Protein backbone atom coordinates (compact mmCIF):
# COMPACT_ATOMS: atom_id res chain seq x y z
CA UNK A 1 0.00 0.00 0.00
CA UNK A 2 1.49 3.34 -1.03
CA UNK A 3 1.59 5.99 1.63
CA UNK A 4 0.57 9.53 0.79
CA UNK A 5 1.52 12.43 2.97
CA UNK A 6 -1.41 13.89 4.84
CA UNK A 7 -3.29 16.63 3.02
CA UNK A 8 -2.71 19.98 4.63
CA UNK A 9 -5.86 21.75 5.78
CA UNK A 10 -5.96 25.50 5.46
CA UNK A 11 -7.34 27.32 8.46
CA UNK A 12 -9.47 29.18 5.95
CA UNK A 13 -10.24 27.44 2.67
CA UNK A 14 -13.07 27.48 0.19
CA UNK A 15 -14.35 24.12 1.46
CA UNK A 16 -13.81 24.98 5.11
CA UNK A 17 -13.91 28.75 5.52
CA UNK A 18 -13.23 30.70 8.70
CA UNK A 19 -16.16 32.11 10.70
CA UNK A 20 -15.24 35.56 9.38
CA UNK A 21 -15.45 34.41 5.79
CA UNK A 22 -18.77 32.66 6.45
CA UNK A 23 -20.17 35.86 7.97
CA UNK A 24 -18.95 37.84 4.98
CA UNK A 25 -20.46 35.46 2.40
CA UNK A 26 -23.68 35.26 4.40
CA UNK A 27 -23.98 39.02 4.75
CA UNK A 28 -23.53 39.54 1.01
CA UNK A 29 -26.17 36.94 0.23
CA UNK A 30 -28.62 38.31 2.79
CA UNK A 31 -28.15 41.84 1.43
CA UNK A 32 -29.00 40.61 -2.04
CA UNK A 33 -32.05 38.79 -0.70
CA UNK A 34 -33.38 41.86 1.13
CA UNK A 35 -32.93 43.99 -1.98
CA UNK A 36 -34.55 41.34 -4.18
CA UNK A 37 -37.62 41.06 -1.96
CA UNK A 38 -38.00 44.83 -2.13
CA UNK A 39 -37.50 44.97 -5.90
CA UNK A 40 -39.55 41.95 -6.96
CA UNK A 41 -42.83 43.90 -7.29
CA UNK A 42 -41.29 46.06 -10.01
CA UNK A 43 -39.22 43.62 -12.05
CA UNK A 44 -40.27 42.49 -15.52
CA UNK A 45 -41.73 39.08 -14.68
CA UNK A 46 -40.28 36.97 -17.47
CA UNK A 47 -36.77 37.42 -18.83
CA UNK A 48 -35.94 38.23 -22.44
CA UNK A 49 -33.45 35.39 -22.52
CA UNK A 50 -32.11 33.05 -25.14
CA UNK A 51 -30.43 29.76 -24.44
CA UNK A 52 -27.56 30.67 -26.72
CA UNK A 53 -26.87 34.00 -25.02
CA UNK A 54 -27.04 32.48 -21.52
CA UNK A 55 -24.77 29.63 -22.48
CA UNK A 56 -22.30 32.10 -23.96
CA UNK A 57 -21.95 33.71 -20.51
CA UNK A 58 -22.32 30.71 -18.21
CA UNK A 59 -20.71 27.75 -19.97
CA UNK A 60 -17.05 27.00 -19.28
CA UNK A 61 -15.01 23.86 -18.59
CA UNK A 62 -14.82 22.51 -15.04
CA UNK A 63 -12.54 25.03 -13.34
CA UNK A 64 -9.44 23.60 -11.67
CA UNK A 65 -8.94 26.65 -9.47
CA UNK A 66 -11.56 28.33 -7.32
CA UNK A 67 -12.93 31.84 -7.49
CA UNK A 68 -13.97 34.31 -4.82
CA UNK A 69 -17.51 34.10 -3.55
CA UNK A 70 -18.01 37.76 -4.43
CA UNK A 71 -17.31 36.98 -8.06
CA UNK A 72 -19.77 34.07 -8.03
CA UNK A 73 -22.43 36.16 -6.33
CA UNK A 74 -21.98 38.72 -9.11
CA UNK A 75 -22.68 36.03 -11.73
CA UNK A 76 -25.77 35.03 -9.77
CA UNK A 77 -26.95 38.64 -9.37
CA UNK A 78 -26.08 39.90 -12.85
CA UNK A 79 -26.77 36.85 -15.03
CA UNK A 80 -28.83 34.23 -13.21
CA UNK A 81 -31.36 36.55 -11.57
CA UNK A 82 -32.08 38.66 -14.67
CA UNK A 83 -32.34 35.41 -16.63
CA UNK A 84 -35.00 34.06 -14.25
CA UNK A 85 -38.76 34.32 -14.16
CA UNK A 86 -39.76 36.15 -10.99
CA UNK A 87 -42.28 33.82 -9.39
CA UNK A 88 -42.65 36.14 -6.40
CA UNK A 89 -44.00 39.04 -8.49
CA UNK A 90 -47.56 39.85 -7.37
CA UNK A 91 -48.87 39.54 -10.94
CA UNK A 92 -47.18 36.27 -11.81
CA UNK A 93 -50.37 34.22 -12.26
CA UNK A 94 -48.92 31.39 -14.37
CA UNK A 95 -49.32 27.70 -13.55
CA UNK A 96 -49.57 27.07 -9.77
CA UNK A 97 -46.59 28.88 -8.38
CA UNK A 98 -45.74 30.20 -4.95
CA UNK A 99 -43.62 33.27 -4.21
CA UNK A 100 -41.53 31.75 -1.41
CA UNK A 101 -41.15 33.47 1.95
CA UNK A 102 -38.10 35.16 3.40
CA UNK A 103 -38.27 33.15 6.61
CA UNK A 104 -38.33 29.90 4.60
CA UNK A 105 -35.22 30.94 2.68
CA UNK A 106 -33.49 31.61 6.00
CA UNK A 107 -34.71 28.21 7.23
CA UNK A 108 -33.17 26.61 4.14
CA UNK A 109 -29.83 28.20 5.04
CA UNK A 110 -30.09 26.81 8.57
CA UNK A 111 -31.12 23.36 7.31
CA UNK A 112 -28.18 23.22 4.90
CA UNK A 113 -25.72 24.52 7.49
CA UNK A 114 -26.81 21.92 10.04
CA UNK A 115 -27.00 19.38 7.19
CA UNK A 116 -29.31 17.02 8.99
CA UNK A 117 -30.34 14.05 6.88
CA UNK A 118 -33.69 12.47 7.80
CA UNK A 119 -33.99 8.89 6.59
CA UNK A 120 -34.86 7.76 10.12
CA UNK A 121 -35.28 8.99 13.68
CA UNK A 122 -31.87 7.84 14.82
CA UNK A 123 -30.22 9.81 11.98
CA UNK A 124 -31.63 13.12 13.15
CA UNK A 125 -33.75 12.83 16.29
CA UNK A 126 -34.86 16.44 16.72
CA UNK A 127 -35.28 17.20 13.00
CA UNK A 128 -37.43 14.07 12.64
CA UNK A 129 -39.56 15.12 15.63
CA UNK A 130 -39.92 18.56 14.04
CA UNK A 131 -41.09 16.90 10.82
CA UNK A 132 -43.73 15.08 12.86
CA UNK A 133 -44.79 18.40 14.41
CA UNK A 134 -45.05 20.09 11.01
CA UNK A 135 -47.01 17.13 9.62
CA UNK A 136 -49.32 17.29 12.65
CA UNK A 137 -49.95 20.97 11.96
CA UNK A 138 -50.84 20.17 8.35
CA UNK A 139 -53.15 17.36 9.51
CA UNK A 140 -54.85 19.89 11.79
CA UNK A 141 -55.19 22.37 8.92
CA UNK A 142 -56.85 19.65 6.83
CA UNK A 143 -59.04 18.25 9.62
CA UNK A 144 -57.35 14.84 9.54
CA UNK A 145 -57.63 12.28 12.33
CA UNK A 146 -54.84 12.22 14.94
CA UNK A 147 -53.86 8.70 13.83
CA UNK A 148 -52.85 9.96 10.38
CA UNK A 149 -49.18 10.42 9.56
CA UNK A 150 -47.04 11.49 6.69
CA UNK A 151 -43.86 12.91 5.29
CA UNK A 152 -42.48 15.65 3.11
CA UNK A 153 -41.46 14.79 -0.45
CA UNK A 154 -39.67 16.53 -3.29
CA UNK A 155 -43.00 17.63 -4.72
CA UNK A 156 -46.54 16.76 -5.65
CA UNK A 157 -45.63 14.41 -8.50
CA UNK A 158 -43.63 12.28 -6.10
CA UNK A 159 -46.39 12.45 -3.46
CA UNK A 160 -48.93 11.22 -6.03
CA UNK A 161 -46.55 8.49 -7.18
CA UNK A 162 -45.98 7.37 -3.60
CA UNK A 163 -49.71 7.26 -2.86
CA UNK A 164 -50.42 5.12 -5.93
CA UNK A 165 -47.57 2.79 -4.95
CA UNK A 166 -49.09 2.35 -1.50
CA UNK A 167 -52.57 1.82 -2.98
CA UNK A 168 -51.32 -0.81 -5.41
CA UNK A 169 -49.44 -2.59 -2.65
CA UNK A 170 -52.53 -2.74 -0.43
CA UNK A 171 -54.46 -4.28 -3.30
CA UNK A 172 -51.83 -6.66 -4.67
CA UNK A 173 -49.77 -7.42 -1.60
CA UNK A 174 -46.26 -8.76 -1.49
CA UNK A 175 -46.49 -10.79 -4.67
CA UNK A 176 -46.19 -7.84 -7.04
CA UNK A 177 -43.38 -6.33 -4.97
CA UNK A 178 -41.55 -9.65 -5.14
CA UNK A 179 -42.33 -10.89 -8.63
CA UNK A 180 -43.51 -7.84 -10.53
CA UNK A 181 -46.80 -6.61 -11.87
CA UNK A 182 -46.91 -9.49 -14.34
CA UNK A 183 -47.58 -11.75 -11.33
CA UNK A 184 -50.99 -10.08 -11.05
CA UNK A 185 -52.39 -10.46 -14.55
CA UNK A 186 -55.88 -8.96 -14.04
CA UNK A 187 -55.76 -5.32 -15.15
CA UNK A 188 -55.81 -2.84 -12.28
CA UNK A 189 -57.88 0.31 -12.59
CA UNK A 190 -57.41 3.80 -11.18
CA UNK A 191 -60.31 6.25 -11.52
CA UNK A 192 -59.94 9.98 -11.72
CA UNK A 193 -61.61 12.86 -13.49
CA UNK A 194 -60.70 14.14 -16.94
CA UNK A 195 -59.30 17.23 -15.19
CA UNK A 196 -56.64 15.39 -13.22
CA UNK A 197 -52.99 16.37 -13.23
CA UNK A 198 -50.90 14.20 -15.54
CA UNK A 199 -48.58 13.20 -12.71
CA UNK A 200 -51.19 10.52 -11.96
CA UNK A 201 -50.83 9.07 -15.45
CA UNK A 202 -47.06 9.33 -15.24
CA UNK A 203 -47.08 7.50 -11.89
CA UNK A 204 -49.24 4.74 -13.38
CA UNK A 205 -46.77 4.35 -16.26
CA UNK A 206 -43.75 4.20 -13.93
CA UNK A 207 -45.37 1.79 -11.48
CA UNK A 208 -46.11 -0.67 -14.27
CA UNK A 209 -49.87 -0.10 -13.90
CA UNK A 210 -50.12 1.59 -17.29
CA UNK A 211 -51.53 4.94 -18.37
CA UNK A 212 -54.47 3.26 -20.09
CA UNK A 213 -55.54 1.81 -16.76
CA UNK A 214 -56.13 5.31 -15.44
CA UNK A 215 -59.77 5.65 -16.39
CA UNK A 216 -60.91 9.23 -16.81
CA UNK A 217 -64.36 9.99 -15.46
CA UNK A 218 -66.35 12.87 -16.99
CA UNK A 219 -67.03 16.05 -15.04
CA UNK A 220 -70.05 18.25 -14.46
CA UNK A 221 -70.39 21.86 -15.59
CA UNK A 222 -68.25 22.91 -12.60
CA UNK A 223 -65.46 20.51 -13.70
CA UNK A 224 -66.14 18.23 -10.70
CA UNK A 225 -66.09 14.46 -11.08
CA UNK A 226 -69.47 12.96 -12.02
CA UNK A 227 -69.89 10.43 -9.22
CA UNK A 228 -72.64 8.48 -10.99
CA UNK A 229 -70.32 8.05 -13.95
CA UNK A 230 -67.63 6.86 -11.55
CA UNK A 231 -69.95 4.17 -10.19
CA UNK A 232 -70.91 3.08 -13.70
CA UNK A 233 -67.25 2.80 -14.72
CA UNK A 234 -66.38 0.72 -11.65
CA UNK A 235 -69.32 -1.62 -12.28
CA UNK A 236 -68.42 -2.00 -15.96
CA UNK A 237 -64.81 -2.78 -15.18
CA UNK A 238 -65.69 -5.31 -12.53
CA UNK A 239 -68.07 -7.02 -14.90
CA UNK A 240 -65.30 -7.17 -17.50
CA UNK A 241 -62.80 -8.74 -15.08
CA UNK A 242 -60.67 -5.69 -14.33
CA UNK A 243 -59.83 -4.81 -10.73
CA UNK A 244 -60.70 -1.33 -9.51
CA UNK A 245 -58.29 -0.51 -6.67
CA UNK A 246 -57.95 3.26 -6.41
CA UNK A 247 -59.85 6.48 -6.99
CA UNK A 248 -58.02 9.81 -7.19
CA UNK A 249 -60.11 12.86 -6.34
CA UNK A 250 -59.01 16.44 -6.90
CA UNK A 251 -59.08 19.14 -4.28
CA UNK A 252 -58.26 21.92 -6.67
CA UNK A 253 -57.68 20.95 -10.30
CA UNK A 254 -54.87 22.79 -12.02
CA UNK A 255 -56.98 23.98 -14.94
CA UNK A 256 -60.03 25.49 -13.23
CA UNK A 257 -59.50 24.94 -9.48
CA UNK A 258 -62.45 22.55 -9.16
CA UNK A 259 -62.81 20.52 -5.98
CA UNK A 260 -64.40 17.11 -6.57
CA UNK A 261 -67.32 16.04 -4.31
CA UNK A 262 -65.00 14.43 -1.77
CA UNK A 263 -67.60 13.00 0.62
CA UNK A 264 -69.51 11.34 -2.22
CA UNK A 265 -66.34 9.88 -3.67
CA UNK A 266 -65.32 8.64 -0.22
CA UNK A 267 -68.64 6.80 0.02
CA UNK A 268 -68.03 5.13 -3.35
CA UNK A 269 -64.48 4.22 -2.32
CA UNK A 270 -65.80 2.59 0.85
CA UNK A 271 -68.53 0.72 -1.02
CA UNK A 272 -66.09 -0.79 -3.54
CA UNK A 273 -63.08 -1.15 -1.28
CA UNK A 274 -60.95 1.34 -3.24
CA UNK A 275 -58.02 3.30 -1.88
CA UNK A 276 -59.08 6.94 -2.02
CA UNK A 277 -56.30 9.36 -2.81
CA UNK A 278 -56.89 13.11 -2.95
CA UNK A 279 -54.62 15.26 -5.03
CA UNK A 280 -54.81 18.42 -2.93
CA UNK A 281 -51.41 19.67 -4.08
CA UNK A 282 -52.80 22.98 -5.21
CA UNK A 283 -55.93 23.41 -3.13
CA UNK A 284 -55.58 21.62 0.20
CA UNK A 285 -54.34 24.52 2.29
CA UNK A 286 -57.35 26.61 1.21
CA UNK A 287 -59.16 24.79 4.02
CA UNK A 288 -57.51 27.45 6.24
CA UNK A 289 -59.69 30.09 4.50
CA UNK A 290 -63.21 30.16 5.96
CA UNK A 291 -64.93 30.77 2.61
CA UNK A 292 -63.40 27.63 1.08
CA UNK A 293 -63.58 25.30 4.06
CA UNK A 294 -66.91 23.57 3.21
CA UNK A 295 -65.45 22.34 -0.09
CA UNK A 296 -63.14 20.04 1.85
CA UNK A 297 -65.83 18.02 3.65
CA UNK A 298 -64.89 14.38 3.25
CA UNK A 299 -61.17 15.09 2.78
CA UNK A 300 -60.23 13.41 6.05
CA UNK A 301 -61.80 10.15 4.89
CA UNK A 302 -59.19 9.76 2.16
CA UNK A 303 -56.57 7.04 2.55
CA UNK A 304 -53.95 9.48 1.33
CA UNK A 305 -53.68 13.18 0.51
CA UNK A 306 -51.00 14.91 -1.57
CA UNK A 307 -50.18 18.51 -0.79
CA UNK A 308 -47.62 21.03 -1.90
CA UNK A 309 -46.47 23.34 0.87
CA UNK A 310 -44.43 24.90 -1.96
CA UNK A 311 -47.74 26.03 -3.39
CA UNK A 312 -50.28 27.48 -0.95
CA UNK A 313 -48.09 27.60 2.13
CA UNK A 314 -46.11 30.02 -0.09
CA UNK A 315 -42.86 28.10 0.46
CA UNK A 316 -39.99 28.02 -2.00
CA UNK A 317 -39.44 24.80 -3.98
CA UNK A 318 -39.12 22.09 -3.05
CA UNK A 319 -41.63 20.82 -0.56
CA UNK A 320 -44.35 18.30 -1.34
CA UNK A 321 -46.19 16.33 1.31
CA UNK A 322 -48.10 13.08 1.61
CA UNK A 323 -50.54 12.28 4.43
CA UNK A 324 -51.70 8.69 5.07
CA UNK A 325 -54.86 8.09 7.07
CA UNK A 326 -53.34 4.81 8.26
CA UNK A 327 -49.57 4.97 7.84
CA UNK A 328 -49.21 1.28 8.62
CA UNK A 329 -51.14 0.47 5.43
CA UNK A 330 -48.33 2.13 3.43
CA UNK A 331 -45.35 0.65 5.24
CA UNK A 332 -45.09 -2.64 3.42
CA UNK A 333 -44.85 -0.96 0.02
CA UNK A 334 -41.57 0.76 0.84
CA UNK A 335 -39.82 -1.07 3.63
CA UNK A 336 -36.14 -1.89 3.18
CA UNK A 337 -33.98 -4.58 4.62
CA UNK A 338 -30.25 -4.01 4.81
CA UNK A 339 -27.46 -3.66 7.36
CA UNK A 340 -27.45 0.10 7.04
CA UNK A 341 -31.17 0.25 7.74
CA UNK A 342 -31.07 -2.05 10.76
CA UNK A 343 -32.74 -0.38 13.67
CA UNK A 344 -31.91 -1.36 17.22
CA UNK A 345 -34.20 1.05 19.08
CA UNK A 346 -37.12 -0.47 20.96
CA UNK A 347 -39.30 2.62 21.43
CA UNK A 348 -41.43 2.65 18.24
CA UNK A 349 -40.97 6.44 17.96
CA UNK A 350 -37.21 5.92 17.94
CA UNK A 351 -37.35 2.96 15.55
CA UNK A 352 -39.34 5.11 13.11
CA UNK A 353 -37.93 5.46 9.59
CA UNK A 354 -39.29 7.60 6.76
CA UNK A 355 -37.94 5.09 4.26
CA UNK A 356 -40.85 2.85 5.25
CA UNK A 357 -43.33 5.38 3.88
CA UNK A 358 -41.82 6.64 0.65
CA UNK A 359 -39.18 6.01 -2.00
CA UNK A 360 -36.31 8.14 -0.66
CA UNK A 361 -33.53 7.19 1.76
CA UNK A 362 -31.56 10.43 2.23
CA UNK A 363 -34.03 13.22 2.94
CA UNK A 364 -33.48 16.95 3.29
CA UNK A 365 -34.67 18.77 6.45
CA UNK A 366 -37.62 20.30 4.57
CA UNK A 367 -39.68 20.39 7.75
CA UNK A 368 -37.69 23.33 9.09
CA UNK A 369 -39.04 25.77 6.52
CA UNK A 370 -42.61 24.49 6.95
CA UNK A 371 -42.39 24.76 10.72
CA UNK A 372 -40.68 28.14 10.67
CA UNK A 373 -43.10 29.70 8.19
CA UNK A 374 -46.19 28.46 10.05
CA UNK A 375 -44.78 29.32 13.47
CA UNK A 376 -43.56 32.75 12.35
CA UNK A 377 -46.72 33.79 10.49
CA UNK A 378 -49.30 31.78 12.45
CA UNK A 379 -52.13 29.90 10.77
CA UNK A 380 -54.46 32.89 10.96
CA UNK A 381 -52.23 35.09 8.82
CA UNK A 382 -51.72 32.25 6.35
CA UNK A 383 -55.50 31.70 6.22
CA UNK A 384 -56.03 35.43 5.73
CA UNK A 385 -53.55 35.50 2.87
CA UNK A 386 -55.26 32.52 1.22
CA UNK A 387 -58.64 34.20 1.72
CA UNK A 388 -57.18 37.28 0.06
CA UNK A 389 -56.06 35.18 -2.93
CA UNK A 390 -59.55 33.67 -3.26
CA UNK A 391 -61.00 37.16 -3.09
CA UNK A 392 -58.68 38.36 -5.83
CA UNK A 393 -59.87 35.59 -8.17
CA UNK A 394 -63.51 36.42 -7.43
CA UNK A 395 -62.80 40.11 -7.95
CA UNK A 396 -61.27 39.36 -11.33
CA UNK A 397 -64.36 37.36 -12.29
CA UNK A 398 -66.60 40.25 -11.26
CA UNK A 399 -64.54 42.68 -13.31
CA UNK A 400 -64.69 40.35 -16.30
CA UNK A 401 -68.42 39.81 -15.93
CA UNK A 402 -68.95 43.58 -15.73
CA UNK A 403 -66.81 44.21 -18.82
CA UNK A 404 -67.76 44.16 -22.49
CA UNK A 405 -64.40 42.98 -23.80
CA UNK A 406 -63.80 39.90 -21.63
CA UNK A 407 -65.70 36.76 -20.78
CA UNK A 408 -65.15 34.04 -18.21
CA UNK A 409 -64.73 30.53 -19.64
CA UNK A 410 -65.35 28.83 -16.29
CA UNK A 411 -66.50 29.96 -12.88
CA UNK A 412 -63.48 30.82 -10.69
CA UNK A 413 -62.43 27.70 -8.77
CA UNK A 414 -60.58 28.51 -5.56
CA UNK A 415 -58.07 31.12 -6.78
CA UNK A 416 -57.96 30.05 -10.43
CA UNK A 417 -59.67 32.05 -13.17
CA UNK A 418 -60.06 31.22 -16.87
CA UNK A 419 -61.21 33.95 -19.21
CA UNK A 420 -60.60 35.41 -22.63
CA UNK A 421 -60.54 38.63 -24.54
CA UNK A 422 -63.29 39.26 -27.09
CA UNK A 423 -62.53 41.43 -30.10
CA UNK A 424 -65.22 44.08 -30.86
CA UNK A 425 -66.75 41.94 -33.63
CA UNK A 426 -67.38 39.08 -31.19
CA UNK A 427 -69.07 41.05 -28.43
CA UNK A 428 -72.61 40.77 -29.80
CA UNK A 429 -74.51 38.29 -31.92
CA UNK A 430 -73.77 34.65 -32.58
CA UNK A 431 -70.34 33.21 -33.39
CA UNK A 432 -69.42 30.61 -36.00
CA UNK A 433 -66.86 27.87 -35.45
CA UNK A 434 -64.42 29.92 -37.54
CA UNK A 435 -65.06 32.93 -35.27
CA UNK A 436 -64.27 30.79 -32.23
CA UNK A 437 -61.02 29.61 -33.74
CA UNK A 438 -60.05 33.17 -34.57
CA UNK A 439 -60.73 34.15 -30.95
CA UNK A 440 -58.56 31.24 -29.78
CA UNK A 441 -55.69 32.37 -31.99
CA UNK A 442 -56.09 35.97 -30.90
CA UNK A 443 -55.98 35.04 -27.21
CA UNK A 444 -52.92 32.89 -27.71
CA UNK A 445 -51.15 35.86 -29.30
CA UNK A 446 -52.38 38.08 -26.47
CA UNK A 447 -50.87 35.70 -23.92
CA UNK A 448 -47.51 35.74 -25.65
CA UNK A 449 -47.57 39.56 -25.90
CA UNK A 450 -48.61 39.84 -22.24
CA UNK A 451 -45.78 37.59 -21.10
CA UNK A 452 -43.33 39.55 -23.23
CA UNK A 453 -44.46 42.91 -21.86
CA UNK A 454 -43.59 41.76 -18.35
CA UNK A 455 -46.08 43.52 -16.09
CA UNK A 456 -48.50 40.57 -15.70
CA UNK A 457 -48.15 36.88 -16.54
CA UNK A 458 -50.90 34.39 -17.40
CA UNK A 459 -50.55 30.86 -18.71
CA UNK A 460 -52.94 28.95 -20.94
CA UNK A 461 -55.52 26.23 -20.56
CA UNK A 462 -58.02 24.51 -22.77
CA UNK A 463 -61.54 24.93 -21.33
CA UNK A 464 -64.31 23.10 -23.17
CA UNK A 465 -62.06 23.12 -26.20
CA UNK A 466 -61.43 26.87 -26.16
CA UNK A 467 -58.14 28.66 -25.53
CA UNK A 468 -58.31 30.27 -22.10
CA UNK A 469 -56.13 32.89 -20.49
CA UNK A 470 -55.62 31.19 -17.17
CA UNK A 471 -54.36 32.61 -13.91
CA UNK A 472 -53.87 31.36 -10.38
CA UNK A 473 -53.53 33.76 -7.44
CA UNK A 474 -51.09 32.19 -5.02
CA UNK A 475 -49.13 35.07 -3.57
CA UNK A 476 -49.49 37.00 -0.30
CA UNK A 477 -48.33 40.09 -2.21
CA UNK A 478 -51.25 40.11 -4.66
CA UNK A 479 -54.09 42.60 -4.09
CA UNK A 480 -57.38 43.49 -5.77
CA UNK A 481 -55.55 46.36 -7.45
CA UNK A 482 -53.26 43.81 -9.17
CA UNK A 483 -56.31 42.19 -10.76
CA UNK A 484 -57.32 45.53 -12.23
CA UNK A 485 -53.80 46.11 -13.53
CA UNK A 486 -53.89 42.63 -15.03
CA UNK A 487 -56.97 43.40 -17.10
CA UNK A 488 -55.46 46.67 -18.26
CA UNK A 489 -52.31 44.80 -19.23
CA UNK A 490 -54.36 42.25 -21.19
CA UNK A 491 -56.20 45.07 -22.96
CA UNK A 492 -52.86 46.64 -23.86
CA UNK A 493 -51.59 43.32 -25.20
CA UNK A 494 -54.81 42.92 -27.22
CA UNK A 495 -54.36 46.37 -28.73
CA UNK A 496 -50.77 45.54 -29.57
CA UNK A 497 -51.48 42.27 -31.37
CA UNK A 498 -54.55 43.73 -33.07
CA UNK A 499 -52.45 46.61 -34.38
CA UNK A 500 -49.80 44.17 -35.66
CA UNK A 501 -52.26 42.13 -37.72
CA UNK A 502 -55.14 44.31 -38.84
Question: Per the omega criterion (within 30 degrees of 0), is the bond before 487 cis?
Answer: no
CB of 220 to its own copies, least distance (A): 19
Please report whether residue 403 would count as binding its own copies according to CB under 8 A. no
Give one DSSP letter per residue of 393-453, joined into a string: HHHHHHHHHH-SSEEEEEEEETTEEEEEE--GGGSSS---HHHHHHHHHHHHHHHHHHHHH
Number of residues interacting with its own copies: please give it, by CB under 8 A: 195
Q: Which stretch binds its own copies (CB under 8 A): 5-13, 322-330, 427-435, 484-492?
A: 5-13
Q: CA angle, corner 290, sides to 254 and 302, nearest 5?
A: 55
Please report whether residue 453 would count as binding its own copies according to CB under 8 A. no
Which strand (E) or helix (H) includes residue 245?
strand 243-250
Please report whether residue 379 would count as binding its own copies according to CB under 8 A. yes
Q: Which stretch binds its own copies (CB under 8 A): 49-57, 230-238, 245-253, 425-433?
A: 49-57
Please report whether residue 221 would count as binding its own copies according to CB under 8 A. no
Residue 13 three-state SS: coil
Please report whether residue 34 would count as binding its own copies according to CB under 8 A. yes
Draw the binding track, 280-299, toward its own copies (x: CB under 8 A; -: no contact): -----------x--------
Q: Which of 44, 171, 211, 498 binds its own copies (CB under 8 A)?
A: 211
Residue 128 three-state SS: helix
Q: Which stretch binds its own copies (CB under 8 A): 11-19, 229-237, 299-307, 426-434?
A: 11-19
Which of positions 296-335 make contact with its own copies (CB under 8 A)? 308, 310, 314, 316-318, 320, 333-334
Which of positions 123-162 make contact with its own copies (CB under 8 A)? 123-127, 129-130, 132-133, 136-137, 140-141, 154-158, 161
Q: Which of 11, 178, 221, 499 binds its own copies (CB under 8 A)?
A: 178
CB of 261 to its own copies, least distance (A): 21
Q: Which of 225, 321, 377, 487 binds its own copies (CB under 8 A)?
A: 377
Q: Which of 170, 224, 287, 394 binds its own copies (CB under 8 A)?
A: 394
* Torsion, CA 385, CA 390, CA 391, CA 393, rounded to 10: 130
Q: Which of 227, 280, 459, 473 binds its own copies (CB under 8 A)?
A: 459
Closer residue to its own copies (CB): 369 or 420: 369
Closer residue to its own copies (CB): 183 or 427: 183
Please report whether residue 30 would count as binding its own copies according to CB under 8 A. yes
| In contact, 278 and 305? CB cutoff 8 Å | yes
Please report whether residue 200 would count as binding its own copies according to CB under 8 A. no
CB of 433 to its own copies, least distance (A): 21
Q: CA angle, corner 467, sides to 84 and 443, nearest 5?
A: 70
| In contact, 41 and 477? CB cutoff 8 Å | yes
Residue 292 neighbours by CB distance under 10 Å: 23
Cβ contacts of 237 within 8 Å, gap of 6 or more: 189, 215, 243, 244
Please report whether residue 474 would count as binding its own copies according to CB under 8 A. no
Q: Which of 11, 240, 338, 499 binds its own copies (CB under 8 A)?
A: 338
Cβ contacts of 5 within 8 Å, gap of 6 or more: none
> Rounded to an integer, what distance in angstroms lies between the CA atom of residue 123 and that of residue 161?
25
Residue 92 three-state SS: strand
Closer residue to its own copies (CB): 94 or 268: 94
Coarse DSSP helix, strand, coil percentages of the chain, rounded to the nearest 5 percent: 50, 15, 35
Closer residue to its own copies (CB): 271 or 381: 381
Residue 145, Cβ density class (10 Å: 0-12 exposed, 13-18 middle, ≥19 buried): exposed
Amino acid sequence: MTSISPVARDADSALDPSPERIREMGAQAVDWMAAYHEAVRDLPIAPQASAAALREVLAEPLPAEGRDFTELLAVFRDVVVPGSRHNGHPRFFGYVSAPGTAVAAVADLLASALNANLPAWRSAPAPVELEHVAIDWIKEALGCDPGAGGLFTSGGSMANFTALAAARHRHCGAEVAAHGAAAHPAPLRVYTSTETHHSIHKAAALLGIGRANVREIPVDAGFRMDVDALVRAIEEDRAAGAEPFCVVANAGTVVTGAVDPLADIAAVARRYGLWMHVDACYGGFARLAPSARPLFDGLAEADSISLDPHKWLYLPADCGCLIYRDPEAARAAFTLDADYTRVTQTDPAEAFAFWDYGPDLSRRFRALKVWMTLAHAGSRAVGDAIEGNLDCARHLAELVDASADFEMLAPPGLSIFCFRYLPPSARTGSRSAADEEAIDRLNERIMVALQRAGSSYLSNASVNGRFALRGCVLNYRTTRRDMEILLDDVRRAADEVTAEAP
